[in-house]
Amino acid sequence: MKTLFISALLIILSVASFAQADRKLIREGNREYGKEKYSESEISYRKAIDKNKESADAVFNTGDALYMQKKYEEAGRQFLQNHDMNDNIKKKSASLYNLGNSLLMANKVEESIDAYKGSLKLDPKNLETKYNLAYAQDLLKQQQEQQQQQQQQQQNNDEDKQDQDKQNQDQNKDGQNQENQDNQDQKDQKQQEQGISKEDAERLLNALANDEKKIQEKVKLAKAQKAKVRTTKNW
């Protein structure tokens, strides 16, 4: 019994020693945090966690130090871990509040709204949480409206582009028709410069043939009249 009592006493003293060690490191981290030495305070808080992995306060303060270094996603993970470690309602609410702030700064607005709502369920009278929730909801509404405007603008741009493409196609079609007409005109002009068409040539040949025939008939008639005069000559 005496041996068991001594062993139990050693265990209690060991746990107390570790608890004192992690509290000392947390206080050291708090002093560095107060001097805005956030990186140094994070190191102290993490050392405290190494001494006592069940130290919810060290986990929470590590999240604060990370948040001040703008490491918002890492900070959020610390606050979420602190929420799971705590049984105290006020502390659980505070961890969700800080989680909401981290998510908001990481531009995860919808997720931050969920975190703020969770915090308010645990502490409904917290005015800061109510204010941040209203701010996040208003910001989300603005983002959604802006997104809708961008989508509408993109749709208008696509419609304008389609209209412009159609107009360009019509212009290209008109230009092609005009080009074809110009080519035909040039071809006809070239043919005119080179000579008469086949049909015109045939008509001209027929006209010349008719004229030649008439001339021959006139010559024959003239010869007949001359021969007649000669036969009436007085011998």
The residue that leads in pLDDT, 5 or 119, is 119
Distance of CA 71 to the CA centre of its chain: 26
For the ranges 86-90, 166-170, 197-201, 220-224, the maximum mean pLDDT occurs at 86-90
Q: Is the pTM of this model over 0.85?
A: no
Residue 10 has pLDDT above 50, yes or no: no
Assign a CATH topology to domain 11-69. Answer: 1.25.40
Confidence of residue 229 (pLDDT cuts 50, 70, 90): very low
Average the pLDDT over 60-88 and give the result: 96
CB atoms within 10 A of CB 132: 21
Mean pLDDT, all residues of the chain: 81
Q: Which of 141, 95, 151, 150 is nearest to 118 (CA)?
A: 95
Residue 193 CA from chain centroid, whole number: 62
- Rounded distance, CA 54 to CA 35, Å? 26
Q: CA-CA distance, 182 to 87, in Å (whole number)?
A: 90
* Higher pLDDT among residues 234 and 214, named by residue: 214
Distant-in-sequence, close-in-space partners of 112: CB < 8 Å, separation ≥ 6: 100, 101, 102, 103, 104, 132, 136
Name the more confident of 222 and 25.
Answer: 25
Measured in whole angstroms, the distance separating CA 186 from the mean position of its chain's CA atoms is 52
Per the listing, tokens 């092609």 go with 176
Q: Per-residue b/e over 44-76, b at no fewer than 16 CB within 10 Å?
A: bbbbbbebbeebbbbbbbbbbbbbbeebbebbb
**Domain residue ranges of the chain, discontinuous segments joined by +:** 11-69
